[in-house]
Amino acid sequence: MKVAIIGFGSVGKGVLKVLSERTDRTFKVVAVTDSKGAVINENGLDLALVLKQKNNDDLKRANKTSMDVVKGLDYDILVEVTPTDAKTGEPGLSYITEALKRGKHVVTSNKGPVALKYKELCGLANKSNALFLFEATVGGAMPMFNLMRMPLAGNKITSIKGIFNGTCNYILTRMASEGLPYDMVLSEAKELGIAEADPTYDVEGIDTALKLVILANAVFGMDVSLDDVDRVGISSVSLEALKLAGEADMVIKLIGEVYPNGEERVLKVSPRLVPKSHPLAVQGTLNAALIQTKLAGDIFVIGKGAGSIETASAILSDMLYIASQK
Amino acid sequence: MKVAIIGFGSVGKGVLKVLSERTDRTFKVVAVTDSKGAVINENGLDLALVLKQKNNDDLKRANKTSMDVVKGLDYDILVEVTPTDAKTGEPGLSYITEALKRGKHVVTSNKGPVALKYKELCGLANKSNALFLFEATVGGAMPMFNLMRMPLAGNKITSIKGIFNGTCNYILTRMASEGLPYDMVLSEAKELGIAEADPTYDVEGIDTALKLVILANAVFGMDVSLDDVDRVGISSVSLEALKLAGEADMVIKLIGEVYPNGEERVLKVSPRLVPKSHPLAVQGTLNAALIQTKLAGDIFVIGKGAGSIETASAILSDMLYIASQK
């Protein structure tokens, strides 16, 4: 299948690397684009070479924009991996919309468009019989949607809760284990590249809330947005609280939780006490989810929530699903 | 699709209950058999009624054996849920063999045939273009094969280790948390129905070893049998050892582990130290697996390893996979 990749940052590089190492011929990448232009070869790009040139900053781009590629090129799957904008969903939203209108399959790691316009995008996909997949938006390499689709097929999902932000989990884990205050650990996380220079998006729970919105709409058929999430971040978690928790064999984790509750619904991000022996009490940058089901009972899945190759792995699983449906 | 269910013990009842509660028409059960005979209706059985009659011990059976049904009836999927015999694989092995020879799909929860004759049964399935699926043989409701098939598609699995026996995990958890000796906890487990009257199969690690053999052959393409597993059970785990582990913030778990190791291979069941904060340190009757992969990194999955409905959930996911492939 012909693949066009829109976005050539960390995730885009990961996708190219992973695809370049595959020996089969399932996928042929015909275009990679970034904000400076597009690299196009309808017979298939030499991915290792493109990666090398990108890293050496001597990539020769054709004078075409990402949107030119999305609207004009012949491809089967659009892999949309531009950065998340939680407010507008752009530029990814426009790319995904145009591709779906053309009846192309779309795989994305971009939380913005899925959280903002899930219903509309699914409508477009259904209309043109295309698949719109977004495994990489929640939990990185940790399987969520693909786990619920087939392995838990036949199960009614009754609730999902978990740790969906590695940065927050790293900070809380370090505070608890080393007895260090929030500000100090946050500085350390910034130095290590685990937290962004402006960490608001992570530490105030916005990233977790976006993922909950995606789960709410995609798994539970809700029609909610970021404003519907009851949200508290971790910046107010004190060392004292973590110590008290520790004395009771508990830890404090930033937990996102979503489930229908009759006419009401629960859609909540907040620091919560979790027993140390509970499977959700994972450490460091790990993500963890508890999927409560009607037949299979409680299923926990734990994995790396971020990382270029890990996210690419989730994208690849979506691409392979599309290939398996042909 | 027409379904014939061979075996009407705890798992068979679970399958009937789960199917009876489905409102769609994907599956029609045309036969249920046990050692006393068969209940057959080519237009589809009234599953709730059959279950009620079975529970009241007034089930009217036709004068046909399970093998008569397997060989003679018109069905699409054979659900084979007779008890495991680790030495001969019978009677399930013969049923599965005959069904695959007829080109019928087979779903089983029976570890014996899969552990003993994986290669031969897959050969038969391939020859007649049938699917041979056995999600329920490892980890009960905890997705393993279906998790590796699609959600981790594109990933090379490098090793699998985990807790695959709920009885052993219950005993070790209780010994550690209550400070009670092995014999006392084993008696308690028998009273609760968590351990069998003869617990050898579980506590000596044979059940875990069988599951490792299935994983070894199905995931890593090995060609091994029970005798190839390096196996130590939990009967020699002392309270003293558990206390020492606890003092070092560790627990002792019965861990099964399998991975290729160049020309060698690791295929091992033994009590091992696990840090309390490690995701595999699950409590009670839970099962847990760590699947190490090339791209997605370490993926943990945790769930109920046994139970009538939970096992039926795994069987249903295999059945739905077959239905999705038509």
Q: Do A321 and B153 touch (CB under 8 A)?
A: yes
- Reported as a pLDDT band with limits 50, 70 and 90, residue A72 is very high
> Which positions ≥6 away from B31 have C-beta within 8 Å?
B4, B5, B38, B39, B40, B41, B45, B69, B73, B75
CB within 8 Å: A154 and B320: yes
User: Rounded mean pLDDT of B295-306?
Assistant: 95
Q: Please name which of B227, B223, B279, B233 lies closest in space to residue B256, comparing C-alpha atoms.
A: B233
pLDDT tens-place string over residues B99-144? 999 999 999 999 999 999 999 999 999 999 999 999 999 999 999 9
Mean pLDDT across the stretch A286-298?
A: 97
Task: Tell me the residues of chain B between 180 and 219 that have a Cβ less than 8 Å away from chain A.
Answer: none
E strand residue ranges, A120-243: 132-133, 157-163, 230-231
A206: CB partners within 8 A, 6+ apart: A86, A200, A226, A231, A233
Are B300 and A303 a contacting pair at CB < 8 A? yes
- In this model, does residue A202 exceed pLDDT 80? yes
Of B146, B283, B286, the CB nearest to A151: B146
Average model confidence (pLDDT) for chain A? 96
pLDDT tens, position by position, B44-57? 999 999 999 999 99
Judge whether B211 counts as a catalytic residue: yes
- How would residue A192 be classed by pLDDT, with cut points 50, 70 and 90? very high
Buried b (16+ CB within 10 A) or exposed e, A151-183: bbbbbebebbbbbbbbbbbbbbbbbbeeebebe
Amino acid A279: pLDDT: 97
Residue partners of B178: CB distance under 8 A and separation at least 6: B185
Q: Mutate which of B146, B251, B313, B320 to disrupt the A interface (most A C-beta within 10 Å)?
A: B313
Return the pLDDT at B208: 98
Instruction: Pick the catalytic residue from B13, B104, B117, B211.
Output: B211
Are the beta carbons of B309 and A295 separated by less than 8 Å? Answer: yes
* Residue B264's pLDDT band (cuts 50, 70, 90): confident
**pLDDT tier at A264 (50, 70, 90 boundaries)?**
confident
Q: What is the pTM of this model?
A: 0.95
Closest residue in A to B307 (Cα–Cα): A296
B306 touches chain A (CB under 8 A): no
For chain A, positions 15-74, list CB contacts with chain B under 8 A: 18, 22
Q: Which residue of B has its CA nearest to A291?
A: B303
Identify the pLDDT of residue A198: 93
Evaluate if residue B257 carries a pLDDT over 80: yes
Question: For residue range A205-233, what is the model confidence (pLDDT) as tens digits?
Answer: 999 999 999 999 999 999 999 999 999 99
Domains and CATH numbers, chain B: 2-141+308-324 (3.40.50.720), 149-303 (3.30.360.10)
% residues pLDDT > 90 (chain A): 95
HSE (side-chain half, CA atoms, 13 Å) at B261:
9
Question: Average of pLDDT values for B281-285?
Answer: 96
pLDDT of residue B270 exceeding 80, the answer is: yes
Give me the interface pTM, i.e. the ipTM. Answer: 0.94
Does the beta-carbon distance from A150 to B281 stay under 8 Å? no
A29 strand-pairing partners = A3
Nearest neighbour of B302 by CB, restricted to A279, A283, A293 = A279
Radius of gyration of chain A (CA): 20
User: Contact A131/A96 with Cβ under 8 angstroms?
Assistant: no
- Whether A155 contacts chain B with CB within 8 A: yes
Helices (H), chain B: 10-20, 47-55, 66-72, 92-101, 111-127, 145-149, 166-178, 182-191, 200-203, 206-220, 239-247, 308-324
**pLDDT for residue A263 is more than 90:** no
Across the range B59-72, mean pLDDT stands at 96
**Integer Cα distance of A9 and A278 in angstroms:** 36
Mean pLDDT of all residues in B19-44: 96
Binned at pLDDT 50, 70 and 90, residue A236 comes out as very high
- Could you report the per-residue pLDDT of A142-191, keeping only the tens digit for each? 999 999 998 998 899 999 999 999 999 999 999 999 999 999 999 999 99
Looking at per-residue pLDDT, the higher value among A303 and B262 belongs to A303
pLDDT band at B263 (very low <50, low <70, confident <90, very high): confident
Testing the interface with B: which of A19, A253, A299 to mutate, by most B Cβ within 10 A? A299
pLDDT at B80 over 90: yes
By the CB < 8 Å criterion, does B250 face chain A? Answer: no
The verdict on a CB contact (< 8 Å) between A151 and B143 is yes
